């Protein structure tokens, strides 16, 4: 018997309309095909204080919560909604090597819905994390090549395209060889950064201490490896034709 056979006409119409909306643009995953997350319930979440591990008297300035991450986020939503200025998440990378546990079961690369299940898992938790963020808060999420692109689309969907701060790349291994099944030797991972509000800092004109009345009126010292804008320094752009000769570019 099909799992849709018990649905009413109205429920089927609502399901189709939702799928049409989600398929219009962006990331789509098989939300209706995967097993529901058992943590998605209406249970009240409370914490038990371990006084033996506590320092000083309440109210405490710092918390260490041991437990399921979804339940911890639900609790923090009651106490810290809109107050957290920085969130860092190191989720399972869903490599297919049984590093991802869902409903107390390990997922490997033979599971047809491995990617959709992981996306639903992340979606529910990132939605809660968004509620915790301060209006000027930022969130960082670690990931590797396995789910980098789906995670980027998912975070764009949750936090908005204009909230993307960038992608940081860091060297994650020091061994000589780490070839994957494609033959590439991967030596790095990523950190995706998103913020609730992106704005620059006012320019500190006190750093501009030198004057030049001939070309550019306000100058400062730049590191030799710094990036320059050609339109601001056009008179100082040169084309190299050979190792011992250069010609000024007048274009």
pLDDT, greater one: 169 or 31? 169
The pLDDT, as a whole number, for residue 35 is 81
Are residues 168 and 232 both part of a single domain?
Answer: no
Residues paired with 218 in a beta bridge: 211
- Rounded Cα–Cα distance for residues 137 and 196 (Å): 6
Are residues 34 and 81 both part of a single domain?
Answer: yes
Residue 152 lies in a domain: yes
Question: pLDDT digits over 82-93, tens only?
Answer: 999 999 999 999
Are residues 120 and 167 both part of a single domain?
Answer: yes
- Rounded Cα–Cα distance for residues 219 and 211 (Å): 6
Are residues 102 and 212 both part of a single domain?
Answer: no
Are residues 236 and 131 both part of a single domain?
Answer: no
67 DSSP assignment: S
Residue 187 lies in a domain: yes
Residue 17 lies in a domain: no
Six-digit token string for 201: 């800092």
Q: What are the Cα distances from residue 46, in Å, to 76, 163, 228?
A: 10, 32, 54
The pLDDT, as a whole number, for residue 215 is 54
Q: Tally the domains of the chain.
A: 2
Are residues 110 and 227 both part of a single domain?
Answer: no
Model-level pTM greater than 0.75?
no
Residue 19 lies in a domain: no
The pLDDT, as a whole number, for residue 142 is 96
Six-digit token string for 49: 């204080």
Nearest to 86 by CA among 159, 137, 158, 126: 137
Residue 61 lies in a domain: no
Phi and psi for 72 in degrees, rounded to 5? -65, -40
- Rounded Cα–Cα distance for residues 174 and 129 (Å): 32
Q: Count the helices and strands in the chain (H runs, E runs).
A: 4, 10
Are residues 158 and 42 both part of a single domain?
Answer: yes
DSSP H helices in the chain: 9-22, 69-80, 114-132, 148-159
Picking from 94-103, 142-151, 226-235, which range would have the lowest pLDDT averaged per residue?
A: 226-235
Residue ranges making up the domain that contains 155: 30-50+66-195
CATH of the domain at 121: 3.40.50.150
Six-digit token string for 185: 């030797």
Cα 63 to its chain centre, rounded Å, is: 23
Are residues 151 and 87 both part of a single domain?
Answer: yes
Q: What are the Cα distances from residue 114, in Å, to 31, 95, 97, 122, 153?
A: 12, 10, 11, 12, 17
The pLDDT, as a whole number, for residue 15 is 86
The pLDDT, as a whole number, for residue 147 is 94
- Rounded Cα–Cα distance for residues 78 and 46 (Å): 10
Are residues 142 and 238 both part of a single domain?
Answer: no
Are residues 244 and 156 both part of a single domain?
Answer: no
């Amino acid at each position: 018997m099909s799992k849709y056979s018990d649905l009413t006409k109205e429920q089927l119409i609502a399901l189709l309309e939702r799928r049409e909306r989600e398929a219009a643009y962006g990331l789509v995953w098989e939300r209706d095909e995967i097993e529901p997350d058992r943590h998605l319930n209406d249970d009240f979440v409370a914490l038990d204080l371990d006084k033996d591990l506590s320092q000083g008297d309440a109210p405490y300035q710092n918390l260490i919560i041991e437990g399921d991450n979804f339940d911890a986020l639900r609790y923090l939503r009651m106490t810290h909604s809109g107050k957290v200025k920085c969130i860092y998440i190191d989720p399972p990378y869903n490599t297919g090597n049984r590093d991802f546990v869902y409903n107390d079961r390990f997922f490997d690369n033979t599971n047809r819905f491995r990617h959709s299940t992981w996306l639903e898992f992340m979606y529910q938790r990132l939605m809660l994390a968004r509620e915790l963020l301060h209006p000027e808060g930022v969130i960082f999420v670690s990931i590797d090549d396995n789910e980098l692109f789906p995670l980027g689309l998912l975070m764009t969907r949750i936090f908005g395209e204009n909230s993307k701060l960038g992608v940081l790349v860091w060297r994650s291994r020091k061994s000589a060889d780490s070839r994957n099944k494609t033959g590439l030797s991967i030596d790095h991972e990523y950190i995706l950064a998103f913020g609730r509000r992106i704005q620059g800092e006012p320019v500190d004109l006190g750093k501009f201490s030198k004057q030049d009345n001939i070309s550019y009126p306000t100058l400062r010292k730049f590191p030799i490896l710094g990036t320059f804008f050609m339109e601001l320094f056009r008179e100082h752009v040169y084309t190299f034709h050979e190792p011992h000769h250069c010609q000024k570019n007048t274009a």
